[in-house]
Amino acid sequence: MKCKNCGKEIQENEVFCNNCKNQLNSISSKDKVNELEDLIEDQKKLNDLEITKELFDLNKFVVEEPKNDLVVDENIEQHNSQRLVGDFKSDDINEALQNNNYNKKNKKKIIIITSIVVIIIVIVIFIVMLLMSLTSTKNQNNSETKNKVVIDYNKVINEYGKSLENTIKKYISLNENVPNWQQTSELNTYKKYEVICETHDIYSDGSIYLSSCTVNNKYTKYTYGIKKEEIKEGKKINIYKLYYSNDSYSYFNNNSNGANLVATITCKTEDCDYVNAYDKYVLIRENNEYYLYNYENDSIEFGPFKMKNRYSYLNTLLTYDNKLYAIYYNEDNIDNIYNVITGKILKNIKGELMLASASLSPNVMYKYNYAIFISNNQYNFVNLKSGNVSYTISNKIGSFIEDEKNNIVYITSYDNSIDQFKIYNSNGKLLFNGEVYSFINVADGNLMVASIDEFKIYDSKLKLKISSKKYDKVLGLYESFIVVIDNNNLKIIDLNDRELANFKFEWNDNKHYFHSELSGLFKGDGKNGIYLVVENKDIPYGTKGSGLEYFYIPATGETGVIETNGVKKQ
């Protein structure tokens, strides 16, 4: 045991050492000492002896010793100790205990408050440091975001796919076949991003399908194009068009003399051949069946059209107003008509097909429900609805002259010279009792005909309106005027046989040639006039004066002549 006052080792069951007991000389009663010891012991139990140490600190409770120096023996010390204890009253002890408890409570409060303050300070410091860290990270992320380029992967895949398709289609146009992936990749010029696609299907129409793509080594979910299950294709037939002039051209199924590729027909099988092409139509024969394609809108106009055997052939299309209405075809040496509009086949019309001399017939005769076949040198006019031959013209057909105002067509027919012909109407009736004419034209609903030296004007009912006088020669009929040679002078006459212009030009058949096909109404030098093109054969072609253009301006009556180096008007 230790002394509760000074901490010296003491005997068991003791509270103070002897010295400390002597100092407690004011305590007079042993009972008081015992009571004090009991209190101290209780306090010891309450606070693990610590409070007891503080409570009996000699600096607080020892009575101040006398100032005079006295020698005190052990008895006196004991007596003083007893007196000290006796003087220490219970109220003082309670007050001391209360003060000590109060101090302890204050100390605990201080410790608790201090701990809370410390904790708060630590938390505040932690929060501040966390905020600083987050702010730093955010600033760093913002800086990285500003420096980092945001890629629209969907847009990149679309750009890449379109670039590939342009490359493929350009390759097809130059090589007429579809490139493989390696060729496409090598020719493609897209370099903006590094794009790699594991799936890359190229189709015959030049389209492409892409999937499983990465952009700059970053995988993307986006795809391009539509995945197709292509059916195995047959033979491909290319159609080329070669222009000779603005309105003259020919078709080929190979690249002949720089012809332009205008269509590619893909057959279903390999048993497929090119037959012919007409304007915007392409005719092919596949497995002994015919198909007519409209290559401008990439559609089948009609088909399949079956033939009996491979020696049957379809050879002419009849069109009107840019619309197909019938076809000619030959089977077993018999020409037939297939009416595209009605779907009927008109059979058993023997003989050869009408030649190019009557090439105007499809457009003109369709209005009157006719198609024309040649059989035994006779022109058979077949009714498209019934298939029957309505009438036959024995002589050759030269031209078809249409009076659109009165819905009438006139047909010229000749024996030997096309400049000497007879005239029929659209019903096959011979007109003017078979009289022979050299010129025919229609002007404002009137029929104009001319022989070698005179002309006549008829109305739509073929009633004679004007019969001209005799001239040296009639050179041509043009809408509302006639060109003649009268008394060796070149003149222009109107429909009433009145003179409009006299060029006082001495005509010589051996020296001069009138270009009727190049003459007519034209606009020259800003003036609408009648221009007559004459060739002077005495002057070498290409020399000034070898070509003469006589003109007449109806609005002003002005006339004149222009010397050229040859034939000019087109």
Provide the pLDDT for residue 405.
86
Last residue of a domain, one of 220, 248, 276: 220
Question: Could you report the per-residue pLDDT of 225-261, keeping only the tens digit for each?
Answer: 988 876 667 888 888 988 877 667 888 888 777 788 8
Comparing 252-256, 309-313, 389-393, the range with the smallest average pLDDT is: 309-313
Kind plus residue range of the DSSP H or E element containing 114: helix 90-147
Query: Phi-psi category of 420—alpha, beta or left, where left has phi over 0 and alpha has psi -120 to 50?
Result: beta
Mean pLDDT of 331-351: 62
Q: Is the pLDDT of residue 501 over 90?
A: yes
In terms of Cβ atoms closer than 10 Å to its own Cβ (0-12, 13-18, 19+), residue 491 is buried
Mean pLDDT of 319-325: 66
Provide the pLDDT for residue 439.
92
Instruction: With beta carbons less than 8 A apart as the criterion, state whether 155 and 213 touch.
Output: no
Rounded CA-CA distance 215/156 in Å is 8
Question: Could you report the per-residue pLDDT of 272-301, keeping only the tens digit for each?
Answer: 888 888 778 888 888 878 888 888 888 887
Last residue of a domain, one of 191, 220, 249: 220
Instruction: With beta carbons less than 8 A apart as the criterion, state whether 423 and 439 touch.
Output: no
Q: Give percent of the chain with pLDDT exceeding 70.
A: 69
104 assigned to some structural domain: no
More confident residue, 500 or 334: 500
- The pLDDT mean for the chain works out to 76
187 assigned to some structural domain: yes
More confident residue, 346 or 196: 196
State the pLDDT confidence band at 450, using cuts at 50, 70 and 90. very high
Q: Which domain holds residue 186?
A: 153-220
Provide the pLDDT for residue 209.
93
Provide the pLDDT for residue 146.
53
- Residue 222 has what DSSP assignment? -
pTM of the model: 0.47
Question: Could you report the per-residue pLDDT of 482-498, keeping only the tens digit for each?
Answer: 999 999 899 999 988 89
Mean pLDDT of 123-145: 73
Provide the pLDDT for residue 566.
74
Cα–Cα nearest to 391, from 428, 350, 442: 428
Instruction: With beta carbons less than 8 A apart as the criterion, state whether 185 and 191 touch.
Output: no
More confident residue, 312 or 452: 452
Find which of 89-98, 143-152, 383-392 is predicted with most confidence, using mean pLDDT: 383-392
159 assigned to some structural domain: yes
Last residue of a domain, one of 220, 239, 257: 220
The first and second tokens of residue 18, run together, are 């002897």
Rounded CA-CA distance 107/226 in Å is 83
Provide the pLDDT for residue 348.
47
Question: Could you report the per-residue pLDDT of 31-80, keeping only the tens digit for each?
Answer: 555 655 665 565 555 554 444 444 444 444 444 444 444 344 444 444 44
Provide the pLDDT for residue 144.
55
Provide the pLDDT for residue 161.
93
255 assigned to some structural domain: no
517 assigned to some structural domain: yes
511 assigned to some structural domain: yes
99 assigned to some structural domain: no
198 assigned to some structural domain: yes
Q: Considering its fold, how many domains does the chain have in total?
A: 2
